[in-house]
Amino acid sequence: MGLPKWNESQLPAAPPFNFRNFLHIIGPGTILLATSVGSGEWLLGPAAALRYGVGILAIVPVSVLLQVMFNIELMRYTLATGEPIFTGFMRLGRRAWPAGLLYVMLGCLQIGWPAFAATSASALFAAVSGRLPEAGDASALYYYGLFTFLLAFLILISGRTIERTLEIASAGMMIWVFGFLIIVNVVFVPLSVSIETARGFLFMGDIPSGLDWRLIGGFAAYAGAGGVVNLLLSNWARDKGFGMGASMGAITAAASGTARVKLSPTGSIFPCDEGNLARWRLWLKYLHVEQFVVWGLFCVVGMFLTVNMTLAFVPQGVDLTGMAAGAYPAEYLSRTVGSWMWLLTLLNGFWILFSTQLALMDGLVRLTTDILWTAFPGLRNAVRNDVRRLYYALLVGFVAWGCVALRLAQPITLILISANAAGFILVVSSVHVLLVNRRLLPEPLRPSRFREAFLVVTALFFTFFVVMNLV
């Protein structure tokens, strides 16, 4: 059975466009940035550049630009209807649940692993023990990973709403991370290294034979956000109240003391009259600035700063994907700059990786909650129309799974699985977003052919890396 038709109401007005209001409006882009500046910037980007040279970095601006345009187009649907993009996918078929089940499965494949808790644990272990973890420290790393995983859980149950909690935590961590990286790059990295790194972002170098396509494919996807993580932008925007999302409600935190907020399973569309279209264009303006400046620009800057720092201090050819992934930069900075850099760099690495785990823990539970909440009215009745009961039941289940999954494989292996799954999901979801906007939205709200072409190019770009992995 398909989903109910949209309700109809007026599009809420966005505040006048100025810097102060922009700082108030942004939030989903900040969460997405904290999620993005993780495995790609701190782990996969530096690992690829050390192994294959700076020429491989030309992938970054292409991937980020395509993902910026992808984000804007999936957010178009949420601005217009208030519904997360996953609901749009479910509206494409005669029955809602097949598309919902598909994206729950894809979400589990990509972000159902506590990989970032495990990699942030290596930084925490090194800070406490004063050395990099080794093969014999696997048991100790498990308990450090367990600590960081449970810490993310405790943060998620605090605050007023889940989205607001993530927004505040993400902003604080990103201020520390970028402040640290900028100071290190400006003060300690030679100018010649910075020029060479910048050249790599602009010009593709010679591609060596025998590429590890798991690493390169994962790097291409995680140069931005990657797959399901991009799609979650619409869920956070709904809770933030972007556009028609203001009429939907939000998921409130369990320990906040906030009264239950009703979360509507069905969105609303607005009449395409002159007043609503003027407000629509203002919302799109906020969206474009958030995506191009807050997310896209800082994704590229974050990758440049981390790779540049790594190339300046870590010898060419060093493998950054071992047991101590996440803690290697501290070892080499402390040797070159001074021992006082040891703890500072480890703290920076911990915040980068932990912020990613925090958002992804919410992300998988959130997308599953929203899909089940929308597709199954009987389930809404079973939890007495209190979405928190469903969200936190799934969250506890995910935490229990994570405690087991932390022992399954080395963290970098889990991250490579996650990153390459993200590339495949970008292929599938780019086509789905194009169909959602073309088939479901009223004509005045649909994207131009030029923007639709970006979605096609995005699908083809990431198809290349998926095929090379399979071959």
pLDDT tens by residue, 220-232: 999 988 899 999 9
**Structural contact between residues 121 and 141, judged by C-beta atoms closer than 8 angstroms:** yes
Residue 78 near residue 269, CB atoms below 8 Å: no
| Structural contact between residues 149 and 357, judged by C-beta atoms closer than 8 angstroms | yes
**Any idea what the CATH number is for the domain that residue 353 is in?**
1.20.1740.10
Angle of CA points 178, 155, 287, to nearest 5°: 55
The predicted-structure confidence for 49-81, as pLDDT tens digits, reads as follows: 988 989 899 999 999 999 999 999 999 999 999
Contacts 24+ apart (CB under 8 A), 464-468: 465/213, 465/216, 465/217, 465/220, 465/221, 465/420, 465/423, 466/217, 466/420, 466/423, 466/424, 466/427, 468/211, 468/213, 468/216, 468/217
Helix 138-156 crosses helix 341-375 at what angle (to 10 degrees)?
60
Is residue 372 situated within a structural domain? yes
Predicted confidence band of residue 1 (pLDDT cuts 50, 70, 90): low
In which element (H, E) is residue 421 found?
helix 411-440
**311 in a structural domain:** yes
Report the candidate in 44, 320, 45, 360 with the shortest Cα–Cα distance to residue 197: 45
For residue range 433-442, list pLDDT tens digits in order: 999 999 999 9
Check if the beta carbon of residue 236 is closer than 8 Å to that of residue 163: yes
The pairing of strands 7-8 and 268-269 is parallel
User: What pLDDT is stored for residue 349 in this prediction?
Assistant: 85
Task: Return the minimum-mean-pLDDT range out of 7-16, 171-180, 379-388.
Answer: 171-180
Collect all residues with Cβ–Cβ distance below 8 Å to 25 and sequence separation of at least 6: 14, 15, 242, 286, 290
Mean pLDDT of 399-407: 89
User: Across the chain, what does the average pLDDT equal?
Assistant: 89
| 136 domain residue, yes or no | yes
Q: Is residue 363 part of a domain?
A: yes
Select, from the ranges 92-96, 326-330, 408-412, the one with the highest average predicted confidence (pLDDT).
92-96
Token pair of 147 as six digits = 């600590």
What does the pLDDT read at residue 324? 64
Integer Cα distance of 39 and 114 in angstroms: 12
Is 337 within a domain? yes
The radius of gyration of the chain from alpha carbons, rounded to an integer in Å, stands at 22
Domain total of the chain? 1
Look at 263 and 82; give whichever has higher pLDDT: 82
Q: Determine how many CB atoms are found less than 10 A away from the CB of residue 89.
A: 25
Residue partners of 346: CB distance under 8 A and separation at least 6:
123, 124, 126, 127, 327, 330
Share of the chain above pLDDT 70, in %: 96
* Pair of tokens at residue 29: 């882009």
pTM comes to 0.92
Six token digits for residue 18: 């100025």
Cα atoms in the Cβ-side hemisphere of radius 13 Å centred on 265:
22
pLDDT at 258 over 70: no
Q: Is residue 1 part of a domain?
A: no
User: Residue 159: is its pLDDT beyond 80?
Assistant: no
Which range has the worst mean pLDDT, 16-30, 137-151, 245-259, 392-406? 245-259
Q: Residues with Cβ < 8 Å from 374, sequence gap 6 or more? A: 3, 83, 86, 87, 90, 96, 100, 265, 266
Bridge partner list, 269: 8
Q: CA dist 361 to 70, 84, 394, 395, Å? A: 23, 18, 11, 8
Containing structural domain, residue 364: 7-470
Please name the residue that has the structure tokens 């999302």.
245
In a domain, 2, yes or no: no
Cβ-Cβ contacts under 8 Å for 19 (sequence gap 6 or more) = none
In a domain, 317, yes or no: yes
**How many angstroms separate the Cα of 445 from the Cα of each of 289, 393, 412, 424?**
19, 37, 42, 28
**pLDDT for residue 369:** 94
